[in-house]
Amino acid sequence: MTESRDPYAPPGARLEDKPGPGSMVKAVLVGLGVDICGSLVAGIVLGMVYAAILAASGASPEEIETAFANISPLSPMSILGSLTGCGLSVWGGYLCARIARRREYALGAVVAAISTAASLMMASHYPIGVNLALSIATFGSVMFGVRFGYAKNNAT
């Protein structure tokens, strides 16, 4: 038996309007907020965890202070902090592109440049080579996130 359709029923196709461009200022501010503020919060949390680990192992407050002053960029906590910061940079770049929905790479480059400058100010106690590597990682991470946001914008 054939199935009969109501000739007056609306079509079954899903029709959606593509969202228009968003605020470029909002896109940059959200991207920076996630990247810079998120990195600061993550750094504070990681610092508290590191201090707790040192204190639990019997370190005195002076030893903890010395450990923080002389932390190696290749220590597990520094590497974890750098990876967390890069992850937040990717997320900030992605959100910037998704919010703006136009000129994604240009706005992402603005976020990347400001984030890189902020990371240089926060990590100025490292040698110049380490600072250069971290700067490249920050800039690249933001632009990597922008790439995903751009792709998502053009897929929908």
Instruction: Quote the percentage of the chain above a pLDDT of 90.
Output: 54
pLDDT of residue 156: 57
Asked whether residue 1 is assigned to any structural domain, the reply reads no
How many structural domains is the chain composed of? 1
Asked whether residue 92 is assigned to any structural domain, the reply reads yes
**Calpha distance 81→79 (Å, rounded):** 5
Give the domain range for residue 80: 24-155
Contact 32, 111 (CB under 8 A): yes
**Calpha distance 6→136 (Å, rounded):** 61
Asked whether residue 12 is assigned to any structural domain, the reply reads no
Asked whether residue 145 is assigned to any structural domain, the reply reads yes
Structure tokens given for 84:
């967390």
Asked whether residue 33 is assigned to any structural domain, the reply reads yes
Pick the more confident residue, 6 or 1: 6
Q: Considering the entire predicted model, what is its pTM?
A: 0.82
Please list the helix, strand and coil fractions of the chain in percent, rounded to the nearest 5, in that order: 75, 0, 25
CB atoms within 10 A of CB 143: 20
Asked whether residue 9 is assigned to any structural domain, the reply reads no
Q: pLDDT tens, 31-80?
A: 999 999 999 999 999 999 999 999 999 988 888 888 888 888 888 888 99
Asked whether residue 4 is assigned to any structural domain, the reply reads no
Contact 95, 108 (CB under 8 A): no
